[in-house]
Amino acid sequence: MKVRTRSSAIIGTICLIASLALTTASADESTAPRQAAKVALTKVATAKNPTAGAAGPGGTVWLAERAGTVRVLDRRGLSEPVLDISAETTTDGERGLLGIAFDKKFAHFYISFTNLEGTSTVDEFAVRHGKIRPETRRTVITQTQPYPNHNGGDIKFGPDGYLYIALGDGGSGGDPHGNGQNLDTLLGKLLRIDPHGGKPYAIPRDNPFVDDPKARDEIWAYGLRNPWRFSFDAGTGDLLIGDVGQSAWEEIDWAPASSDGGENYGWSQMEGNHPFREGTEPANHVPPVHEYDRTGLGCSVTGGFVYRGKAIPALRGQYVYSDYCDGTIRSLRIENGKVTGTHDLGVNGGEVISFVQGGNRELYALDIGGSVYRIDRA
């Protein structure tokens, strides 16, 4: 296994669990009937604690750095910051600039960060000719946070053109306020809003809880602990969520593109397929499509993307993901909502904090230590 260096508290504290149980990465690929795709990691840039990225206009890849800067990666390399909110965020706990997204026409750019009070915040900027217009900045949505961890923070536009926002359960440990199952809070949820349909945003009329007066209308799915990274399959529109576990089970959740929303992924009654503490499995629990324990494959899942690029034909259609504590790049073959193959792709991206899908649908892996890797065919 690779040697881990923890050169700074910043890097150490972003780990999404209370205790780091680093164990030998002895792969247990018990259901790998087919040969894994052969891939290589090509280091294409060095950023400062990159946390997230998004495909930008003109074939660029935009990268968020945790302390609050955004840089643009193109053929010439990584730019100077095109946005700097470092005076408005902190990097204690699991805080910082945690997500970025463009809408489909690259007309607006969104940032997701914790502000100086620790409040989760999504802001919007207009974009003209590939450049952010700072004077157009406005806040779309905020959510106060009771603790500095489990902020979620990923943001993505779905195939339906709506903005999805992942929020963790509020933090501490064990979901002390029961937010995961409480439909009266946005914590522990995946939200779905229309940032263009109203000010500050509109609720899509077909959101699953708009007719339930006891539930927040923004909620798309619930029962999530820390849905750190999620994505939509660029081929099918299916939703995949990497939900970080408490201390036993890391999980990948899945919903088909045809879903009407409202999925209950179980937390904090369930951790993966297992009752959490004395939890009772909810009748509507949607179990993970994949889970793994802490005996070898890691301790904090980093959700990725279904690979829809051209460079690695053998990987096409597989879900690529990793684990922050382990760093091995892995893939799942998922057919009709069932995992039919698990693969260790044989490369290690370090402390893999996020994946980015470029405009050409090739994938990048981000090491919080700074390395930006493109996943290539070996």
Shortest distance, position 265 Cβ to Ca ion, whole Å:
4
On the CB side of 246, CA atoms within 13 Å amount to 23
Which is closer to Ca ion, CB of 62 or CB of 220? 220
* Measured distance CA(165)–CA(141) in Å, rounded: 10
Which is closer to Ca ion, CB of 265 or CB of 305? 265
Cis peptide preceding 57, ω within 30 of 0: no
* Measured distance CA(51)–CA(64) in Å, rounded: 6
Which is closer to Ca ion, CB of 210 or CB of 248? 248
Cis peptide preceding 268, ω within 30 of 0: yes
Shortest distance, position 88 Cβ to Ca ion, whole Å:
32
Shortest distance, position 247 Cβ to Ca ion, whole Å:
14
Closest Cα partner for 174 from 18, 3, 328? Answer: 18
Shortest distance, position 224 Cβ to Ca ion, whole Å:
7
Helix (H, G, I), strand (E, B) or coil at 354: strand
Shortest distance, position 270 Cβ to Ca ion, whole Å:
5
* Other CB atoms within 10 Å distance of the CB of residue 288: 25
Q: Please report, as residue ranges, which positions from 232 to 271 form the binding site for Ca ion (by CB under 5 A).
A: 265-266
Which is closer to Ca ion, CB of 102 or CB of 265? 265
Shortest distance, position 27 Cβ to Ca ion, whole Å:
23
* Measured distance CA(336)–CA(220) in Å, rounded: 21
Which is closer to Ca ion, CB of 114 or CB of 264? 264
> For residue 84, with 0-12 CB atoms within 10 Å meaning exposed, 13-18 middle and 19 or more buried, which class applies?
middle
Q: Distance from CA of residue 307 to its chain's centroid?
A: 15
Shortest distance, position 249 Cβ to Ca ion, whole Å:
8
Which is closer to Ca ion, CB of 215 or CB of 286? 286
Which residue of this chain has its Cβ atom nearest to Ca ion in the complex? 266
Which is closer to Ca ion, CB of 204 or CB of 266? 266
Phi, psi of 94 (to 5 degrees): -115, 30
Which is closer to Ca ion, CB of 39 or CB of 244? 244
Shortest distance, position 355 Cβ to Ca ion, whole Å:
20
Q: Which two tokens stand for residue 82?
A: 């095109």
Shortest distance, position 1 Cβ to Ca ion, whole Å:
28
Contact between 53 and Ca ion per CB under 5 A: no
In terms of phi and psi (left: phi > 0; alpha: psi -120 to 50; beta: otherwise), the region of 133 is: beta
> Edge to edge, what strands does the sheet with 131-143 contain?
97-102, 108-114, 120-128, 131-143
Which is closer to Ca ion, CB of 69 or CB of 246? 246
Helix (H, G, I), strand (E, B) or coil at 59: helix
x-or-dash string of contact with Ca ion, 264-303, rule CB under 5 A: -xx-------------------------------------
Q: Judged by CB under 5 A, how many residues of this single chain contact Ca ion?
A: 2
State how far the alpha carbon of 36 is from the alpha carbons of 28, 128, 152, 208, 346, in Å. Answer: 14, 42, 30, 38, 9
* Measured distance CA(73)–CA(190) in Å, rounded: 29
Q: Please report, as residue ranges, which positions from 170 to 189 form the binding site for Ca ion (by CB under 5 A).
A: none
* Measured distance CA(314)–CA(323) in Å, rounded: 22
Which is closer to Ca ion, CB of 150 or CB of 374? 150
- List of residues contacting Ca ion (CB under 5 A): 265-266
